[in-house]
Amino acid sequence: MNRINNTDGGAARRTWLTGGLVNKESKWSLPSVRGLQQKINRRVKPLAVWLATCALLFSPCVAVHGELLKPDVDFSNYHVPLYEQIVNRIKAKGAPRLGKGKNTRDRYFIVAFAYQDRWHTPQHSHSFISVIHLLPEGKKLGPTSGFRRGKFRGRDFEAFTISWVPHDFDTTPNLCVFDGFGSRLFATRNKCPIIVGRNFTLAETLKLAVNNKNAVGMWGPYEVRKEAFDLGVKRMRLLDGGTIRYRADDRLYRKDRVAINCFHAMAGLDQLYPIGGLCGTGFKMWGINGTKRVLIEYTHVARDKGLLLDPVNINKDLYGFVYAPERNSHGAYNPFPNASAYHQ
């Protein structure tokens, strides 16, 4: 919004108020005009105050949704693929936690993620989490566990991701979320089918985000106790066991463990179906909002305290990766306080 020069604005306002009631010598042509001006001022001032109040109250919201007043997006790694950017950030944020000297104990970490499109549609939003086990120096991984394996600073690690989506979502990404009049409010009216689900890897999940040019957010890594890692493994085994299927709107099916959505698949490591959203419906609990709700479960619910060793600031810890069609291009969808650009 352009600022108005106070001097020019005042003159323009006085001219508008007096209209054609001022003669060429800038004198009032009629004595009654002063009374008319005062009457108009009494009507205009409340309107001006109301407009100014609205601007103060609503300008922060406009700034966020209009992507104004945001720090510049970092383009320094623009040509680095999104998956590699995220792995590098996990390593850079996790390395200081290890400290100096020889590490003699197992360490466990979680990294929470979300992606969503510019319009925050549930069809193009997703919440997922990665769980990491870093072994002590000199200790080797045992028989294969089915996890991703690698090395970091000379130490073996294993990791897995809980990213619960339809089994063919990489080839058929047309997700049915709400189908039927009033289905957003009344679960019984939703005609979307229950389908077979599958846990996607981190690389597969980020490829989905790249294909849709979505904004991707991450929190962490946060250190957790071994018990939290074990709960994560238990959850992954449950999902991979084939007894639970996928449905974006799982309100009718989560109690009996018939079907589950991505948010509930990762939320509450020791409780399968924590409630969130408007009146417990899960409404608007997708994408960034969904993962924030998960972190609230992890940090503020008594049953999860003690499993998480690091402090969590849900808003300040959020870092984003935003799609930009060209290097240093403007207008990228950026719902984050800080973000890097990607295009592949």
Do 173 and 282 belong together in one domain?
yes
CA–CA distance from 233 to each of 160, 211, 223, 257 (Å)?
8, 29, 16, 18
pLDDT digits (tens, 9 = 90+) for 85-137: 999 999 999 887 777 777 778 999 999 999 999 998 888 999 999 999 998 88
CA 168 to chain centre: 24
Q: Which whole number is the average pLDDT over 223-245? A: 91
Q: Does a structural domain hold residue 252?
A: yes
- The 10s digit of each residue's pLDDT in 178-197 is 999 998 889 899 999 999 99
> How many domains is the chain partitioned into structurally?
2
Same domain, 108 and 245: yes
| pTM score of the predicted model | 0.76
**Token pair of 332 as six digits:** 């990228």
**For residue 71, is it within any domain?**
no
- Spatial separation of the C-alpha atoms in residues 63 and 305, rounded to whole Å: 35
220: containing domain: 82-342
pLDDT, one tens digit per residue, over 279-317 is 344 456 688 988 888 888 777 764 566 788 888 899 999
Judgement on whether residues 134 and 182 belong to the same structural domain of the protein: yes
Residue 77 lies in a domain: no
Provide, rounded to the nearest whole percent, the portion of the chain with pLDDT above 70.
72
Burial class (CB in 10 A: 0-12, 13-18, 19+), 10: exposed
